[in-house]
Amino acid sequence: MNPTVFISHSCKDKEKAPPDGLSAAEAAARQERLKFARDLRADVHARLKAVAGLDVFLDVRGGLGAGDVWQDGLHQALRTCSGAVILLSPEALESGWVLKEATILSWRVFMSERLIVVPVMLGVSRADLRAKGFGAVDLDAIQWVQVPAASPGARTAAVDEIVAALAPVAAAGVRNDKTTWKTKVERWLLEFGNQLKKEVPEGYDEDYLKLMYQALGVEAQDRNRDGEDPYQDVSAFLLASKTRKIIKMLRKVPTSGKSQRQEIQNKVRPFWVDPLAATPLPHAAREGMVVAIDGEEVESARDYVRRAYCTFEEVDHLLAPPEVTDGTAEQIVSKVRAEVGRYYDPDNAKDLAEEIEDCGPIYVILGPGSAREDVLDQLTAAYPQLTFVAVTGADPKKRLGKWHGRALLLAPSLQPGKEGAGRRFRNRIQAFVDGTT
């Protein structure tokens, strides 16, 4: 089997008439945009198959003939493709299905999988993406293709750029088809979907699924189009939802006890964090960088790390030593050493390096009282294998000193307001756990 490229789109091929409420000019502009998107999609599909020799997965609803489509389950294609093209038009930004596809694909990129994703901007801006909940696909590491105008010349140039961006997929023969079910994102979807399924009384699946979809604002035409497990489908939409809708959906989940609600809480707790802000964490770990976050609470940093890794369950890879307020650097380093020593030999650099090589980065969170220039000097010298996340408070420059220019400061900032929103979200899901909401 050749490597596969997934094309995500919302070209409205079966739309017979424009939506109600549009003026004649607006309807005409919409039809022009959709025709351009369909033509671009067809050109990309043909070039990738004929020139690059790639298999292309394009939803059979996309309007092309069945012979032009590599048919398989959509979830299977999303988790196994080696490349992807996301056509981001104004209509696509209104599609819950495109948001779901973009979220799954971008999370695979976050996990450093061998996957090339090419977002194509068709008359939309980055501000539009964020306003419509597409922040999860706004990655600096992704090569954007900007299409400035709906013209044949622009379409040809865009197709050339898309095919060139995906050339490494064909050249390397990259395949993910037998391994990616083990990725953290796929595991999260499977586990959370199974958790939801377990809570629904037998014989009431359809009723509760409808309530969950409605709470997440998923239109009927976007629900479970691949025909696979609908609970994983709900989970995928939740992964891209805003906190208000997450809380609303949790209230629709029947639970048989506090322990079950606690399991659900653990799976969604970090979802107040903007995925865009969390994405640099794996890169920083690979590059041996210190990470800084302008929060006041260790829990905020913990949620950022967990969000970057789709809830990150490895307790021994996410360490938070006891805070030492106004202590000496030596006292703080001693606390860090003791925390690391709970799981590893802090004097065995080879052991630490092998653990990280085999199981991923080890993050150590330093609270506001410990995130200081002199502490970071000592810790980075003693433990270059570890990734330190400094919770700096509202003034990172003052707290970090010379490290302010050397550390990776996560953005956008938390202050003012976002950390409080996160705290309120945690409180609301705790109320769900306690059965008080």
Rounded Cα gap, residues 158 and 164, in angstroms: 10
Residue 238, strand partner residues = none
For residue 403, CA distances in Å to 128, 180, 291, 377, 407 come to 34, 37, 10, 9, 6
Rounded Cα gap, residues 74 and 57, in angstroms: 9
- Sign, CA torsion 409/419/129/44: positive
Burial class (CB in 10 A: 0-12, 13-18, 19+), 136: buried
Residue 175 pLDDT = 45
Per-residue DSSP letter, 322: P
For residue 19, pLDDT over 60 is answered with yes
Residue 62 pLDDT = 40
Residue 421 pLDDT = 94
For residue 76, pLDDT over 80 is answered with no
pTM for this one? 0.68
Burial class (CB in 10 A: 0-12, 13-18, 19+), 20: exposed
Rounded Cα gap, residues 27 and 141, in angstroms: 36
Residue 301 pLDDT = 95
Task: Report pLDDT digits (tens) over 360-393.
Answer: 899 999 999 999 999 999 999 999 999 999 999 9
Rounded Cα gap, residues 129 and 124, in angstroms: 7
Find which of 253-262, 267-276, 420-429 is predicted with most confidence, using mean pLDDT. 420-429
Per-residue DSSP letter, 64: S
Residue 350 pLDDT = 93
Residue 136 pLDDT = 55
Cα 398 versus chain centre, distance: 31
**Average pLDDT for residues 184-200, to the nearest whole number?**
84
Task: Report pLDDT digits (tens) over 149-185.
Answer: 777 888 888 888 888 888 777 665 544 433 333 466 7
Which structure tokens are listed for 424? 């309120």
Alpha-helical regions (H) of 51-204: 74-80, 96-110, 126-131, 152-165, 167-172, 184-199
| Other beta carbons within 10 Å of 319 | 19
For residue 25, pLDDT over 90 is answered with no
Rounded Cα gap, residues 301 and 378, in angstroms: 21
Q: If you count them, how many residues does the chain have? A: 437
Residue 180 in contact with residue 79, Cβ under 8 Å? yes
Task: Report pLDDT digits (tens) over 30-72.
Answer: 888 888 888 888 888 888 887 656 788 886 444 333 333 333 3
Select the more confidently predicted residue: 348 or 47: 348
Residue 319 in contact with residue 365, Cβ under 8 Å? yes
Read off the pLDDT band of 431 (50, 70, 90): very high
Q: Sort residue 222 into left (φ over 0), alpha (ψ -120 to 50) or beta.
A: alpha
For residue 98, pLDDT over 70 is answered with yes
Q: Please give the mean pLDDT across all residues of the chain.
A: 83
Read off the pLDDT band of 272 (50, 70, 90): very high
Rounded Cα gap, residues 345 and 341, in angstroms: 6
**Average pLDDT for residues 428-436, to the nearest whole number?**
89
